[in-house]
Amino acid sequence: MKPPTPLCRASLVWASGFWAASLATPAVGLGQAPEEWNDERVMELVGRARQLRQSVVVDSTFRSYRAQARGYVYFFVDRPDSDERTLVKADQIALEIAWQAPSRTSQRILGLRDEKLLPTNIRYHLDHLTVVQDDFGDRIRLGDGDEVSEVVHPMASGGPSVYDYSLSDSLSIRYGGDDREVRVYEVRVRPKDPDRPGFIGSVYVDRANAAIVRMLFTFTPSSYVDPYLDYIRISLDNSLWESRHWLPYHQQVELRREMPQLDFLAGSVIRGRFEIDGYEFNDQSPEASFPRPRVTAAPEAERRAFPFERGLFDDLEEEGLSTPPPLEEVRARAREIVANRALSGLAPLRLHLPSASDVLRYDRAEGLFLGAGLNLRAGTASELRLAGGYAFSRKRPSLSFSAVGPPNRVVPVFEAYWDQLRDIGPLPANARLLGTLSGMFFDEDFLDPFFARGARLGLRGPQPGSGLELDLILEQHRSASLSVDGDFRPVLPVDDGVLAAFRVSAPVRLPWRGRGGVSASAAALDGRRFATLLGSAEWELGPGGANPRGSIRGDAGWTSAGAPPQARFLIGGAGTLPGYGVRGFQGRAFWLLRAEGTYPLIRPWLGLRTFAAVGATHLADTDHLPIGWSTGDTDGPRLSAGSGFSLAWEVLRLDFARGLRDGRWEVILSVEPRLRPFL
């Protein structure tokens, strides 16, 4: 038996180091969770809160109220391996809510409008479009019982037999209504048996009378009736009205789903947000104001014509697509309380398919490739993924293994891979799926491939792409070769050898709701040292849908002298500078600025597009062309412009582009860029 190679030995060391890093990571739940549970002080406070909730008449002068509620519900597609989300549908709701002692409630939907930005047939449960008036009562139900059913409220009469309580903190908070500061206690709640349905989170109660002021919570995995549910996170805020009534003020909920048998690195998210105000007290409401069913709606024509005070996308433009801070706080507090137990309702073992092209693809370096994998969610909330496949023309397998630690403040990530397909250049030319189709029929796969074997050990925050990330990389690079027949572009050779690299990357917040990122790495390939810098910035203009939509994006990069060919930058053709040859320019430095806009013609089927791009690559006089490479730099800026059509909710794009400096006409079929990672 041959001894392991240095690369294999290093990979084994790094794999064991992953678990050491996982143990060394600050374990929020283990080190900071309260030690005193169910002591006399907290149980007395819980008893007061429970008694207040059970009182039939809390205030004899408080007999009824009416109020107005305005809300938004958004439906997204997201990627769990990044912080990117794609808006699919937006709804805006106007409600009139009413309450009458002792426990009668009603809600009427006065206004409701929506818009689809991508095709979907989603229909919401009624409680996704309404507000919670009674802090959920003694039994918490969601989705009309199809999502969560009969979870005992921590302040219900049977709560102490189901939950443990801890008095975490005393603090001051300020809310709407009287807008004054109020002293509250934070009571942390966990189920006695975490394997049974239950509430996990914090309940904030008024120090003066033990009324519920705020609740931040999620559920145990067994609480979810729907096997598609990954999690539900809820934030309920009450506010003090007329100096004595704690009533609904601000509510947020987020539900995430995935396929129960399939880990496709894509999920759907429903996020709702409501603001409640305009309270009128002790109005002599007639009996007819409290009909059955509890929720009614105005006729559809009236709902559509309701004069909303804000636009359909105004809230999204202010808050963005990412999870709001209160719901992120729910996740963090739940992890503290249950000490890193898995909180997902998804099955622990699922089929893993990273993307459509990891299942089936075709390119000139591999020919036909078929693959699949497995996902295992460990009891400590770690995730293990194993994937593999076989390239039939190359007649070689590829394998990959990844392990992600529990979502603490710092999350260790370990990857090991064998013959992983890589692409030279920082920017993908087109979706891999379209590259497969183009390769099969037109001998163009939009890739410049090479292969890597090795490992990566990284540290990041609890949410991918949301903070500073550090990576240590050790891998062996090998040139690809043409493995199929056809009139393909030549395969560019790379410098074979062992690469060691340290990389730092971070997102960047930009003005006017822009987003970007920077990355810096120091590396050595077989002892030859070099450094690389990359940066990007992007702004989305307009929400899309029935309205015009546009974007502006800039990318730039630099790598030092002596960098291997695979570290250089390639641009040209679809995805970068249309109207020039695919990957027709290369350099040690590049910059690229792209702008585009879409105007809907026949919504949602047809839109008119226009776009432009300008960019350049640069090679110094002392730089040599790598052996086997025939492309040079752009010799100054190159410009492209064109127009085309977006089809079917802008999913597909058919563009006609022209390179304006020594270029040509080009017809390009592509997909919406935010969908490319799934393909």
55/49: higher pLDDT: 49
HEC readout, 168-185: EEEEEEECCCCCCEEEEE
User: pLDDT over 90 for what percent of the chain?
Assistant: 59
Q: Give CA separation, 586 vs 224, 444, 565, 622, 675, in Å.
A: 52, 18, 10, 15, 27
Burial class (CB in 10 A: 0-12, 13-18, 19+), 353: buried
Q: Given this model, what pLDDT does residue 32 score?
A: 42
Secondary structure letter of residue 356 according to DSSP: G
Where residue 20 falls (left for φ over 0; alpha for ψ -120 to 50; beta otherwise) is alpha
Which segments within 493-588 are labelled E, that is strand? 497-510, 514-525, 528-541, 549-559, 569-571, 585-587
State the average pLDDT for the chain. Answer: 87
pLDDT given for residue 537 in this prediction? 96
Whole-angstrom distance, CA of residue 5 vs CA of residue 469: 29
Q: What is the percent of the chain with per-residue pLDDT over 70, rounded to a whole number?
A: 91
Specify the range with the lowest mean pLDDT, choosing from 100-104, 334-338, 665-669: 100-104
Contact 483, 364 (CB under 8 A): yes
- Measured CA to CA, the distance from residue 155 to residue 46 in angstroms comes to 7
Check pLDDT > 60 for residue 112. Answer: yes
Question: Residues with Cβ < 8 Å from 600, sequence gap 6 or more?
Answer: 545, 546, 547, 548, 606, 607
Q: Where are the beta strands (DSSP E) in 318-410?
A: 349-352, 360-363, 367-377, 383-391, 396-404
For residues 642-666, give the mean pLDDT: 93
pLDDT at 575 over 60: yes
List all residues 6 or more positions away from 362 whose beta carbon is below 8 Å from its beta carbon.
368, 369, 436, 439, 440, 445
CA dist 86 and 298 (Å) reads 31
Report the alpha-carbon distance of residue 256 to residue 267 in Å, rounded. 7
pLDDT at 332: 83
Banded model confidence at residue 36, pLDDT cuts 50, 70, 90: confident
Instruction: Give the model's pLDDT for residue 1.
Output: 41
pLDDT band with cut points at 50, 70 and 90 for residue 513: confident
The token duo for 458 is 């990284």
* Res 438 pLDDT > 90: yes
Please indicate whether residue 165 or residue 100 has the higher confidence score (pLDDT): 165
Which region among 166-175, 415-424, 430-439, 473-482 has the lowest average model confidence (pLDDT)?
Answer: 166-175
pLDDT band at 2 (very low <50, low <70, confident <90, very high): very low
The pLDDT, as a whole number, for residue 463 is 77
CA distances from 337 to 54, 138, 293, 521, 574 (A): 27, 22, 38, 37, 50
State the pLDDT at residue 419. 96
Residue type for position 186: E
Whether the CB-CB separation of 110 and 98 falls below 8 Å is answered with no
> Which domains are seen in the chain, by residue range?
6-22+346-678 (2.40.160.50), 28-338 (no CATH)
CB 572 within 8 A of CB 583: yes
8 Å CB contact between 435 and 423: no
What average pLDDT score do residues 238-242 get? 83
**Residue 313: which pLDDT band, with cuts at 50, 70 and 90?**
confident
Higher pLDDT, 53 or 441: 441
